[in-house]
A and B are shown apart, each in its own frame.
Chain A
Amino acid sequence: MGSIIVQLIISGIAMGFIYALVGIEYTLIWNASGVLNFSHDKLITLGAYIFGGTYIVGMQLGFVEGILLSIVTVAVIGIIIAKVIFIPLRNLTMIYTIMATVMLGKIIVEAIRLYWGPVPFSVPGFLVGTVKINNIVISIANIVIIIAAAICVCALQLFLYKTKPGKAMRCVAQNRNASQIMGIDVKTVMIITIIISMVICCLIGILVSPLLNISTTMSNMIGLKGFAAGVIGGFGYLPGAIVGGLVIGIVENLASMVFPAVYKDIAAFVLLVAFLLVRPKGITGKTR
């Protein structure tokens, strides 16, 4: 019994880190441009398809080259999306920005279906197997997710606090007009933010591909729970997204012990509404 709980908590932490990355990825764009990116789950799917569909299954590259090449590809796509969609959107009303990103997501899904075909597939031999410590069985995928996500979060913090573009991003997040007056090129900062966000999306897509089959609907739930993670932790506050993600991951896995597994996905949304009712500022109490 005890070992089952530990296993559930560990896989909960792994999923929690995924939700945390989702939370970070959309919070970055939200802070930089005031656009809530509803196409982020589709961007995650796109990352998984580029990695799995083109570089691994299609071109038979190694995993490391595959990951690096997908990140480069996604960054290029990020520049295009930033210039075509997000920069024209930044001054529009919320309804149009939301709908434009939703439609972007639908276009991506349709493009994926036309280019890679509608049949779900999996990446053979990528992060399979388990490790056994005493009675506790942990899958390698979960360990890699935890390590990779932790590295990603640390790298992002270093970037935001130690480099000049990172500092510019924080300025823009705090006050867009003031940073423009101070000589920060807001458009460039937005493009950098969107590229970083896209790269994180791509990493999420790669990391979850051993857990889920690669299909056009693979990341719908992850995307929604990432939103919930942001709200639970504190909307628009990066460390909040991490806390929120971990809470959701662990709570929903423990909930699957009590309730039937099909209702596991509801836990995140119940938490979301409960937090909005009781503590709308989130666990960390900081919102932007």
Chain B
Amino acid sequence: MKRIANRQYLWIGAIFVVLALVPLFIDNNYYITILNQMVINMIVVFGLNFITGLTGQMNLGTAGIYAIGAYTSALLSKNFGISPWLTMMAAICAGFLLGRGLGYPSLKMKGVYLSLTTLAFTEIVRIFATNLIDITGGTQGINDIPRFAVGPVMLDTNTKYFYFILVVAVLVCLLSIRIVYSKWGREFRAVRDNADAIESLGLDIKKIKIRAFTLAAMYGTLGGALYAHFNSYITSLSFTTDLSINYVIILMVGGIGSILGNMVGAVVVTLLPELLRFLGDYYQITYCILVLISALFLPNGLVSIYGKITGLLNKGSSAEGGE
């Protein structure tokens, strides 16, 4: 077990190192933008992993959570001139309140209620963001959201910003690993695998689920805030249910419940539409069919392929050794 865990850390480290090296070889601004988006996706999916991956409760409201983070940080820093460092903290606090407030009604009962309420929540956020034009700018959006400085370094280019969020992603990833292999993480997995056993041990399922959802919401709002300051522009048109679904796709394609899987998923799913772009009109439908196939035939995601291959190799070598 420990060796598997160690190998996983090795891969996680390797992905971060590769990501850090990529901007040295690419100076196309578009690709750097995609890299930024990729790492932001990673942060959000680390959070989603707690509730949907480990605890097994479907959260279809990531776009709403993300939007709350983005709008909180953008509005506070732009209208009141507060430092983006503080507004990002405010966004995370908003995520905490959101997780508690939305998690309590939807998770106090067993069942699929969380997926319905979060889906509805995303719609509510979108309707308000579109129609409260005085505050959110509606579909016109908010522009000139300030970038900020780390000490003496102003994060004015996309490459500099990329390194900043990469550092944030590493920290968030370490925190996630710490949580996954702690008492909390074990409780989360136990809720998914055997809810009855948990209750018989005297633990409160409701509290565990709400904790997982709150963590997911805090990661989500952090991602949203990072996105707002990265893009300098947000509009209500981008926070649709499709965005929420995209995050679950990342989680599912990579491998549910595994941090390495989340990272692989974020890399693959962010790049896939770019790679499939040559299909023109047919790229969306191909993309959807690929994801559907992976849901039906590869339920443990891309990381399970690695295990299968090494399993086959080991089997092959042991068979050879047996002869």
Contacts and interface: CB of A to CB of B under 8 A. Distances in A.
Interface in A221-236: 221, 224, 227-228, 231, 235
Given A265-B127, A266-B127, 6 more contacts: A95-B56, A98-B60, A103-B249, A106-B288, A269-B120, A276-B108
B62 to A, nearest CB: 13
A131 to B, nearest CB: 32
B52 A95 contact: yes
B63 interface: no
A262 B284 CA distance: 31
Interface string B232-266: 00000000011001001100100010000000000
Contact of B292 (A104, A111, A220): A104
Interface in A72-124: 88-89, 92-96, 98-100, 102-104, 106-107, 110-111, 114
Given A102-B245, A276-B106, A280-B109, A228 B116 contact: yes
A44 interface: no
B243 to A, nearest CB: 13
26 contacts: A36-B115, A89-B296, A93-B56, A94-B112, A95-B52, A95-B58, A95-B248, A96-B295, A98-B58, A99-B291, A107-B285, A110-B284, A110-B285, A227-B119, A235-B111, A260-B131, A263-B127, A265-B127, A266-B124, A269-B121, A269-B124, A272-B120, A273-B106, A273-B117, A276-B109, A280-B113
A64 interface: no
Interface string A173-208: 000000000000000000000000000000000000
Nearest to A268: B120
B113 A231 contact: yes
A68 interface: no
A1 interface: no
Q: How big is the A interface, by class?
A: 35 or more
A114 B295 CA distance: 24
B123 A265 contact: yes
> Which of B105, B106, B295 is the most central at the interface, judged by chain A CB atoms within 10 Å of its CB?
B295
B105 A273 contact: yes
Interface of B: 52, 56, 58, 60, 104-106, 108-109, 111-113, 115-117, 119-121, 123-124, 127-128, 130-131, 241-242, 245, 248-249, 252, 256, 281-282, 284-285, 288-289, 291-292, 295-296, 299
Given A114-B281, A263-B127, A276-B117, A107 B56 contact: no
B295 A276 contact: no
A235 B106 CA distance: 13
A283 B292 CA distance: 36
B288 A224 contact: no
Consensus secondary structure, chain A interface: helix
B105 A277 contact: yes
B101 to A, nearest CB: 9
Closest 10 CB pairs of A and B: A110-B285, A269-B120, A103-B292, A276-B105, A106-B288, A277-B105, A107-B288, A100-B295, A262-B131, A110-B284
B296 A88 contact: yes
Contacts of A220: 241
A67 to B, nearest CB: 28
A104 B285 CA distance: 10
Contacts of A276: 105-106, 108-109, 113, 117
A224 B291 CA distance: 23
A227 B116 contact: yes
A228 B115 CA distance: 11
A228 B120 CA distance: 9
> Which of A89, A221, A235, A273 is the most central at the interface, judged by chain B CB atoms within 10 Å of its CB?
A273
A98 B57 CA distance: 11
A226 B26 CA distance: 48
B47 to A, nearest CB: 16
B288 A110 contact: yes
Given A262-B131, A276-B106, A107 B289 contact: yes
B277 to A, nearest CB: 15
Nearest to B289: A107
Contacts of B256: 95
A100 B294 CA distance: 9
A228 to B, nearest CB: 7
Contacts of B60: 98
Interface string A273-288: 1001100100000000
A220 B244 CA distance: 15
A235 B121 CA distance: 19
> Which of A100, A102, A104 is the most central at the interface, judged by chain B CB atoms within 10 Å of its CB?
A102
Nearest to A272: B120
Given A94-B58, A99-B295, A265-B127, A224 B285 contact: no
A116 to B, nearest CB: 13
Contacts of A106: 242, 245, 284, 288
A76 B43 CA distance: 43
Contacts of B120: 224, 227-228, 268-269, 272-273
A98 B105 CA distance: 21
